[in-house]
Structure 1
């Protein structure tokens, strides 16, 4: 598999990294042509340039990975289990029709019967006598999956450093879930970036403070408390070098909002119609809420089902929202999603992952190349390893991503309101030149060029300002380099 590297619209320098990765992988393919296994593996790496970005959702058992996957997809597709009840790694990609293909470690086993009913995935698992299934690739019609493939490994496979390395080895980006900051989570986060090349370019991980509704004993203001915890973690020196962003998400609330059913809305509306003091008393605990003797407009079975879907916090929040104006199904669903933190997570996925998909895939390819060289070292491979390290360490895209994170979480602050412009220029609102320069799709090339030259002059002055500190001047130099990169690639306007 040779030829020109895949093209894209990420600005001039992003394509330089893609071109370099493509050329080095082809060079390695020629070098290792006498090793069929390595050559096949390298061809797979080249083929990945034409595939969607791979985003793995990782976290300790009980962190809520499958719940978050369902919230992102907008339907209940996870977890996937075998006939014995064991969880299996699920790969979820966009497809015109629901389809599921089982794989063993040795290769594909064939398709399984699959159906989509009531926004749920129904798979007929293979028989107990069939070959072991290591993963199930699911094609699913979902707008959220158009830009990336979501990978949901069983929590038992992410319980230690070796497990995390294994499940994230083929990932271009990682969403890591944790219930609270613990030394174990820090160790696992470091394992995600294992290896010298990965550690030098830590730009592919978002940390999610999941089950955010548990903060503050599940009060209605629990999400506000969880967001404050997330803001502190963003500035924590032990955390900020390991991820791009820290976001608090109430997974159950997000999933319920994305998959809210009319019958659930009707039950919640009936509960919200009760006097507030009465409802507050019965929502103090799950035992009280599900007590059979309670005289409520919905029976105990329905209440237990609501707890399974929303959690106690979610029921409190939903009934409060209905009482204060979210009196239709769409209004309530939208507010649940917005308040859950899912919208902020999706914005971060767009800014840090999907907008930079080519760069992140090139990063994965070069890190994979380093693994090949370490596993089968040859005299000629030393130059390839050095070239890969040089390309990764010198990539301007990674400096942009680090600056974008620093600006968005407040670690770097620029004077006189320049933060917003700097963020936009390094890709906060999109990575096309028009988006970086604050124009819509109809902007002409002369308009873009005039705005670009003006921005370049201003930011050169900022970078040379002796009154700014070192970090501020360094941030300005990154913005200058971004402008120079756009100026050097006018054909990509």
Structure 2
């Protein structure tokens, strides 16, 4: 169920969709049913899962990204389930059961998903929440149960969404996953006798529908082994070739809780400590993620969703008028803040803590003292600025939005390959394999090679000089041609000339002096520039003619 008018994200996704359509009549009923789900996914917005360990603040961050307090943050039934937040013309909730049936429910009076659903939770596959929020037109946000929970069924649901269950079966054997695996994930409908109807979707087929294509992974102060395992499973399941940081970004949440004295070089500054720690975590998590960014999810949620009210802003003004000594004592701890004798009622101070914590309260008071006439709206913006949310959104746009066509196509190809392997029909496998190889030879498929090059460079598997590494990142991370070429405002002729010059440089680098790994990346970047030059020339002259001396250069 996608928004009206949805189309594949770009030319490569459209080519994969055409491949699925052509192959549906050449494969068995079950594989064809899986291809139908892949087609639905290709027509939908990018599917971004917010995942991480239990109590890492995932749902709070989901609310901040959506701009509405809709995901439950307290422990309850819904926090044990995968919830997909997607665009819809009418706000509603659909409970999807493991047998494929659905039950529609309204949102709770407070605008969120009800804490209790009134159904047998063990029969629920996942929840689909439809919202009229514009941000969801381009990105479906998937809230997941926390990894590391004592509730094994909840963890299994997250692992399946991230692709872990796809790795558990033997692709070479052609055997599908067991019915026990289906029951463990809570997302299968496999018959224990194995006598399913031919068009019943198995786990792999269902994964093509509810699985994620990109992940925003939430960590706190420590990165653990299961974080690595979850990210490894996700990247392996969603990359058509080599897995890497092309569709995964991590955030260091609860950045305000990091003791600055615990991070060398922080100089007593909490945000600087969080930034330095995030850089260290980025090094630890590579090549699984593109970056780790600090964020204060609670502060972001309170400001973006309107939870922080004008009444509470006035309470902060009263606190700002207190004596410096009294205020400093109050801000030492939460207990002192709520019990200290002052004109702001204790209940109001409790609410301030729940929405801003001490870090946000301190920053708000500093802003009021610096600018006594500051409006509530301006105070909101100040708090949003220090939450780090805007930097996260910008990075998501850079890593995900610009690459959505390639990311969705890569994930779809991975699903198509898995479906063919799981069919158990060697002829069917070969037919699908040959069709994919033909697709990968097309010009629009080169972006998959570019994503591979990004993986090799950003992970450190291939070392390049800093300026060359930045050039690879620029070419692969942007959708706009002038941004890809690093020449904003340039004319088409200037862009074309620069693209051809850089294509020649990278070709020479690949042939002379590059290591084998560098040469591999250089050939990819060379062809990326060459294809850009072809496109610019075609747009400028109305002709796609390529001079004979260059015709073989891009191959």
Same fold, judged at TM 0.5 (above): yes
Which residue does 1:79 correspond to in 2? 72
Matched, 1:301 2:347: yes
Q: Deviations over 1:325-369 (max 9, x none)?
A: 483223322232222221221112111212222211111111112
1:166 to 146, 160, 182: 160
2:480 aligned residue (432, 435, 442) = 432
Tell me if the contact between 2:290 and 2:458 (Cα under 8 Å) persists in the aligned partners: no
Deviations along 1:36-56, one digit per CA (max 9) or x if unpaired, are x43222111112211111111
Does the alignment pair 1:64 with 2:111? no
Change in CA separation of 1:155 and 1:393 when aligned onto 2, cut-off 3 Å: farther
1:25 aligns with 2:26: no
The answer to whether residue 269 in structure 2 is matched with residue 232 in structure 1 is no
State whether residues 97 and 126 of structure 2, in contact with CA within 8 Å, keep that contact through their aligned partners in structure 1: yes
The C-alpha deviation readout for 1:160-200, integer Å capped at 9, x for no partner, is 78544312241111111122211222222223234596672
* 2:47 paired residue number: 54
For the residues of structure 1 that align with 2:483 and 2:270, how far apart are their CA atoms? 35
Does the Cα contact within 8 Å between 2:243 and 2:455 map onto a contact in 1?
no
Q: Which moved more, 1:267-276 or 1:193-202?
A: 193-202
Residues 1:318 and 2:360 are matched in the alignment: no
1:25: Cα distance to partner?
2.6
Instruction: Give runs of aligned pairs for residues 265-276 of structure 1, distance below 5 A.
Output: 265-276=313-324
Shift of 1:104: 1.4
What is the match of residue 44 of structure 1?
37
Residue 12 of structure 1 is matched in structure 2 by none
User: How many pairs are equivalent?
Assistant: 470
1 or 2 for the larger relative contact order (CA 8 Å, sep ≥6)? Answer: 1
Distance 1:482 1:112 in 2: 48
- The offset of 1:470, in angstroms, is 7.3
Indicate whether 1:481 and 2:524 are aligned: no
Measure the CA separation in 2 of the matches of 1:304 and 1:298: 10
- 3-state SS in 2 of match to 1:176: strand
Partner of 2:249: 206
TM-score by structure 2 length? 0.73
Deviations 1:225-267 (A, max 9, x none): 111111122233xx21112222222111221231332222222
CA distance in 2, matches of 1:380, 1:391: 17
C-alpha contact 2:275 2:294 (8 A) present in aligned 1: yes
1:59-79 Cα distance to aligned partner (Å, 9 max, x none): 121111100101111121112
Compared CA separation, residues 438 and 191, structure 1 to 2 (3 A): closer
| Matched-pair contact (CA < 8 Å) for 1:113–1:124 | no
Aligned pairs for 1:85-124 within 5 A: 87-114=80-107, 120-121=111-112, 123=114
2:215 aligns to what SS in structure 1? strand
Contact 2:79–2:144 (8 Å) recurs in 1: no
1:397 matches 2:447: yes
- Is contact 1:373–1:385 with CA below 8 Å preserved after alignment? yes
Change (3 A) 1:342 1:401: farther
Preserved contact between residue 98 and residue 116 of structure 1 (Cα < 8 Å): no
Identify the range of structure 1 (298-307 vs 371-380) with the bigger mean alpha-carbon deviation.
371-380
Q: Match for residue 243 of structure 1?
A: 289
The match for 1:333 is 380
**8 Å contact kept, 1:201–1:393:** no
Give the Å deviation of 1:324.
3.4
Residues 425 and 199 (structure 1 numbering): CA distance in 2 closer, same or farther, change over 3 Å?
A: closer
The two structures have a TM-score, normalised by structure 1, of 0.81
Instruction: Look up the match of 1:178.
Output: 219
Give me the whole-angstrom Cα distance separating, in 2, the residues matched to 1:207 and 1:388: 35
Q: CA RMSD in A?
A: 3.8
How many angstroms apart in 1 are the aligned matches of 2:439 and 2:216? 22
